[in-house]
Amino acid sequence: MDSSRRRVLQLLGLSALGLSVKPVLNAFAEEAEQQAQAQIKRGENALSAQQWAMVVDTRAFESEDDFAPLIEACHKIHNVPVLENKRHEIKWIWTDHFHNAFPGKAARFLSEEVEKRPFLVLCNHCENPPCVRACPTKATFKRESDGIVLMDFHRCIGCRFCMAACPFGARSFNFRDPRPFIKETNKQFPTRMKGVVEKCNFCAERLAVGQLPACVAASDGALTFGDLYDPASEVRELIRTNFTIRRKQTLGTEPSVYYIV
């Protein structure tokens, strides 16, 4: 949700309230009251949380093939282009070796299967996100209502400060017009233009209509999504009963993606 639009609406609502208390304008009171309620309403089925979080059960994945449907699902619905040139590559969710996904956490000798297994990486929707701190236009912002780190593609000036600030390489930049490289455009989600940054949005558009993120839905239960601050949530249950790690935890960004290894 565009925060400036929301602010305008709030202001409208406030001034309408102000009007309604003026006795002279009593005649308009009814109308004013209606205006006072002007705000973007949540969808009836919308899912909500204090801070959305994800738990990845890495044991459920063995090879790239196991991940392919998740990545495919995300990139397809979000109109992520497929670019041949590695330098122009755009990705929201992908896989890497353990020692790349968790630099500094890999022991000199690792269990063979951990060493071989790919690990899923995506934006961590950090609770203390350095990308948000760096952005000079608030085009990257942390949505207060549910902790998702979102982007306004129309405000982004393409300075790429957020990319330098993100310690997880979660962000991609449109080095050229991406539209010709989208196989099948999903009309439900905006395509981007050249010169702006993008990344995983925790499927905010799906949560708004009561659906779980696409990668979670395609994961056959290997990914779990829920509210980190609801002690009864499924993610909390998993975190409580399993040993989990997070990426680069020592940096203090407080990632919201947890991994069961």
Partner 1 sequence: MLELAIKGSKRYYGWMTFLLAVIGAGFLVYLWQLDFGLGITGLSRDASWGFYIANFTFLVGVAAGGVMVVLPYYLHDYKAFGKVTILGEFLAIASVIMCITFILVDLGQPMRVFNVFLYPTPNSVLFWDTIVLQGYLLLNIIIGWNVLEAERNNVHYQRWLKPLIYLSIPWAISIHTVTAYLYCGLPGRGFWMTAILAPRFLSSAFASGPALLVLLCLIIRRVSSFDPGREQIQSLAKIVAYAICVNVFFFLCEVFVVFYSQIPEHMDHFKYLFVGLYGKGAYVPWMWASLTLMVIGIILTVNPLTRKNEGVLAVACVLIFLGTWIDKGLGMIAGGFTPNPLHHVNEYIPTLPEIMIALGVWAMGFLVLSALFKIAVGVKEEVRA
Which spans of this chain sit near partner 1 (rule: CB under 8 A)? 4, 85-91, 96, 99-101, 103-104, 121, 130, 133-139, 155-161, 163-169, 171-177, 193-197, 248, 251-253
Residue 159 touching ligand SF4 (CB under 6 A): yes
Residue 123 binds what, of ligand SF4, partner 1, none (CB under 5 to 8 Å, by partner type)? ligand SF4
Per-residue binder mask for ligand SF4 (CB under 6 A), 73-102, x = binder: -x---x-------------xx---------
Residues within window 12-31 making contact with ligand SF4, judged by CB under 6 A: none
Please give the structure tokens belonging to residue 111: 């269990």
- Residue where the block lists tokens 């205006």: 35
Quick one: which of 125, 207, 228, 233 contacts ligand SF4 (CB under 6 A)? Answer: 125
What is the dihedral sign for C-alpha 103, 104, 109, 110? negative
Residue 222 DSSP label: S
How far CA 17 is from CA of 3, 22, 25, 34, in Å, comes to 21, 9, 11, 10
Paired with 55 in beta bridges are 224, 258
CB-nearer residue toward partner 1: 168 or 225: 168
Residue 125 binds what, of ligand SF4, partner 1, none (CB under 5 to 8 Å, by partner type)? ligand SF4
Pairing of strands 197-198, 223-227: unpaired
What is the spatial distance between Cα 21 and Cα 252, in angstroms, rounded to a whole number? 48
What is the spatial distance between Cα 29 and Cα 183, in angstroms, rounded to a whole number? 53
CB-nearer residue toward ligand SF4: 32 or 61: 61
What is the spatial distance between Cα 242 and Cα 226, in angstroms, rounded to a whole number? 16
The minimum distance between CB 91 and ligand SF4, in angstroms, equals 9
Phi, psi (degrees; rounded to nearest 5) at 97:
-65, 160
- Residue where the block lists tokens 């500094």: 104
Residues within window 176-215 making contact with ligand SF4, judged by CB under 6 A: 197, 199-203, 213-215
CA 67 to chain centre: 19
Residue 147 touching ligand SF4 (CB under 6 A): no
Quick one: which of 119, 161, 258, 259 contacts ligand SF4 (CB under 6 A)? Answer: 161
The minimum distance between CB 24 and partner 1, in angstroms, equals 36
- Residue where the block lists tokens 């203390």: 128
| Number of residues binding to ligand SF4, judged by CB under 6 A | 40
Residues that bind ligand SF4 (CB under 6 A): 74, 78, 92-93, 122-126, 129-131, 134-135, 137, 139-140, 149, 151, 156-162, 166, 168, 170-171, 197, 199-203, 213-215, 253
